[in-house]
């Protein structure tokens, strides 16, 4: 089934209530901070690369810069004007004084951060907002919260219809994957290793942002027993001990080593040629950054992990996503460059690998996307308009 679906009416009638022309509206971000968001937003500064991608897919003309430098390959997938935007830095990795100086130079109307909605994030946002006078919004960057972020930020930017359209697409991608899990036995969930970095010896822990897309697919992250957190270094010996059925490489150097280095041949994934390179342009399909760019990773991973129940044309899904989110009409050459090393190769088994869970609890199904109603604290919800007679949020 194609993900090309008509935009559905949102269950949130009012995502953001702007009081009157020229005035600000109060907004409750994901850290339960009350932020006065301007009525007119022309320039937006991202605090991290995930926020930059969110701004880029919704209203690229408002983006003042990238948090990280773009590679030549990334720049090839976007208009020259946007590819040449300055690098503003990862604000969340800087001290408040440095950030305040950067904000003063760029003069944004709003700062947006997407990530972990923690007390530390709230304190940092407050410090920057107090030093600069620029409103700073923190949004929950979890993949389940992505549809809501698209809707509410789209409303902030004056592109509410686009935000709702992209949010609906995202919800359908999650629901389609969830449907496949419901008809797949838990004993058919493969053991998966995601190797980050040039040598592939960095990976994500249980419930890490780097593994969120893979976790949504209900497979078994072989590094999960190492504990929860974000990223960790592992050894080749640990990977051999885990013996994953599927390995996904973040970078070409690790992918090439898996193919050519005889030392890796004892791993089941290598022996059965179930190794893949995660597409990265213009942004990663698994993480890098852990933002809205991960949505295309859901149908891709479905095709890898559950080929017997995945009926869609992956190439058609990729073309649709790039057109809808990035406004790119992929050429045949671009499409093949993206998927060639990311899909099953000729001669590879097309059936799921049955892997007993060895007494472990069944892999949990991903929950549905949260649909905030009214003004629940910490969900980035709007406050009622302060004007008499103005409509309030729907309950």
- Domain spans of the chain? 25-170, 186-339
Distance CA 360, CA 16 (A): 44
- What is 25-170's CATH number? 3.40.50.1980
The model carries a pTM of: 0.83
For residues 19 and 386, is the Cβ–Cβ distance under 8 A?
Answer: yes
How do the pLDDT tens digits run along the chain, 395 residues long?
A: 333 333 333 333 334 444 334 455 789 999 999 999 998 999 999 999 999 999 999 999 999 999 999 999 999 999 999 999 999 999 988 888 888 888 988 999 999 999 999 999 999 999 999 999 999 999 999 988 999 999 999 999 999 999 999 999 999 988 887 777 776 666 667 899 999 999 999 999 988 888 988 988 888 899 999 988 889 999 999 999 999 999 999 999 999 999 999 999 999 999 999 999 999 999 999 999 999 999 999 989 988 888 877 767 889 999 999 999 999 999 999 999 999 999 876 445 444 444 333 333 333 444 444 444 444 434 455 443 333 333 333 33
Q: Report helix, strand and coil shares of the chain as percent, to nearest 5.
A: 40, 10, 50
Is residue 186 helix, strand or coil? helix
φ/ψ of residue 254, rounded to 5: -70, -40
- What is 186-339's CATH number? 3.40.50.1980
Which of 338, 342, 244 lies closest to 283, judged by CA?
Answer: 338
Paired tokens of 389: 């007679």
Q: At what angle do helices 314-326 and 49-58 cross, to 10 degrees?
A: 90
């Amino acid at each position: 089934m194609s993900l090309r679906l008509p935009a559905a009416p949102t269950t949130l009638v009012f995502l953001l209530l702007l009081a009157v022309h020229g005035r600000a509206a109060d907004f409750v971000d994901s850290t339960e901070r009350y932020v006065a968001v301007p009525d007119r937003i022309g320039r937006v500064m991202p605090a991290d690369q995930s926020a930059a991608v969110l701004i880029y897919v919704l209203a690229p003309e408002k983006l003042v810069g990238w948090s990280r430098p773009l590679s030549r390959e990334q720049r090839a997938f976007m208009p020259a004007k946007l590819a040449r935007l300055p690098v503003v830095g990862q604000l969340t990795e800087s001290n408040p004084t440095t950030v305040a100086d950067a904000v003063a130079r760029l003069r944004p109307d709003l700062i947006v951060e997407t990530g972990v909605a923690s007390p530390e994030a709230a304190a940092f946002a407050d410090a920057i907002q107090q030093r600069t006078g620029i409103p700073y919004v923190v949004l929950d960057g979890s993949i389940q919260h992505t549809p809501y972020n698209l809707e509410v930020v789209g409303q902030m930017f004056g592109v509410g219809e686009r935000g709702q359209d992209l949010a609906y697409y995202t919800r359908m991608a999650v629901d389609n994957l969830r449907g496949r899990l419901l008809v797949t036995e838990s004993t058919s969930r493969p053991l998966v290793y995601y190797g980050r970095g040039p040598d592939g010896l960095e990976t994500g822990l249980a419930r890490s942002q780097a593994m969120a897309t893979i976790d949504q697919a209900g497979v078994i992250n072989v590094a999960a027993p190492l504990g929860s957190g974000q990223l960790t270094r592992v050894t080749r010996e640990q990977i051999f001990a885990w013996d994953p059925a599927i390995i996904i490489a973040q970078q070409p150097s690790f992918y090439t080593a898996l193919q050519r280095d005889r030392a890796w041949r004892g791993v089941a994934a290598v022996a059965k040629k179930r190794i893949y390179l995660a597409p990265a342009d213009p942004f990663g399909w698994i993480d890098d950054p852990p933002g809205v760019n991960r949505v295309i990773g859901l149908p891709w991973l479905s095709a890898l992990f559950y080929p017997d129940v995945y009926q869609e044309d992956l190439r058609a899904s990729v073309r649709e996503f790039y057109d809808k989110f990035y406004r790119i009409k992929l050429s045949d050459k671009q499409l093949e460059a993206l998927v060639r090393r990311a899909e099953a190769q000729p001669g590879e088994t097309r059936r799921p690998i049955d892997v007993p869970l060895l007494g472990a609890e069944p892999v949990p199904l991903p929950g549905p996307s949260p649909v905030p109603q009214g003004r629940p604290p910490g969900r980035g919800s709007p406050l009622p308009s302060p004007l008499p007679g103005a409509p309030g949020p729907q309950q």
